[in-house]
Amino acid sequence: MRLFADTGNLEQLRELKEMGVISGVTTNPTIASREGQSLSKTLSAICELFPDKPVFGQVVETEKDKIIAQALKIGDIGQNIVVKIPATEDGIKAIAALKAKNRRVCATTVLTSAQALMAALAGADYVAPYVDKWDVSGYNGFQALEEIIAMFHAANLSSEVLAASIHRAQDVVEVAKRGCDILTIDYSLILSILRIPRPLVDGYVDNFLEDWHRAGCSV
């Protein structure tokens, strides 16, 4: 499983790049709006920081023709751009049209397995189920994620499953256990994975250091 960072903040992304744990970057209109500049500037800066990794930017238009026009504009920002398009009726039509133009797209706001199937059949390179939001639709998020993964394999669909809307450290493990292709999580969750066990970790590290000095060891 590959890990993506769900943020548009360059300072956060520089730190995560130094950690060497992320394989891509996702944004959405809410995330991009926090950076106080145009979407094109935010995505351009991220593409410059990660020239060899996929960078996701999302449309805000809701009608097919306008979605396509905006998606083409976003896609022209960088060679590694993937355009996120909500999996609505107009969105699915736009995905099919954009794939005919050899554009890379991700179907987002996916809340049912059947919706995921429609997006994959339309040609989406990535399908992004909102795992923690499935309860709103009356489904168990992790069971539904398993269903999508199994369905794509059984139907020989090439779309990658990009799990989104995960907010707890242990849920990262649950997604990985199910064989998901990609998980995108925000900066704070990535750090919390290392910080939650930190008091115990620090205790072990302190003991190692104390024993080392007591024995008069050197490297």
> Considering 17, 64, 73, 84, which one is annotated as catalytic?
84
DSSP structure string for 83-118: EEEE-SHHHHHHHHHHHHTT--EEEEEE-SHHHHHH
The tokens for 153 are 């394999």
Confidence (pLDDT) at 107: 98
Whether 64 sits among the annotated catalytic residues: the reply is: no
Residue 202 has pLDDT above 90, yes or no: no
Residue 136 has pLDDT above 70, yes or no: no
Comparing 72 with 210, the larger pLDDT belongs to 72
DSSP structure string for 38-70: -HHHHHHHHHHH-TTS-EEEE----SHHHHHHH
Residue 123 has pLDDT above 80, yes or no: yes
User: What would the pLDDT profile of 1-43 be if each residue is shown by its tens digit?
Assistant: 999 999 999 999 999 999 999 999 999 999 999 999 999 999 9
Confidence (pLDDT) at 59: 98
Q: Are 125 and 82 in contact (CB under 8 A)?
A: yes
Rounded to whole angstroms, the Cα distance separating 111 from 117 reads 11
Confidence (pLDDT) at 204: 86
Residue 166 has pLDDT above 70, yes or no: yes
Rounded to whole angstroms, the Cα distance separating 74 from 122 reads 20
Rounded to whole angstroms, the Cα distance separating 121 from 158 reads 9
User: What would the pLDDT profile of 48-70 be if each residue is shown by its tens digit?
Assistant: 999 999 999 999 999 999 999 99
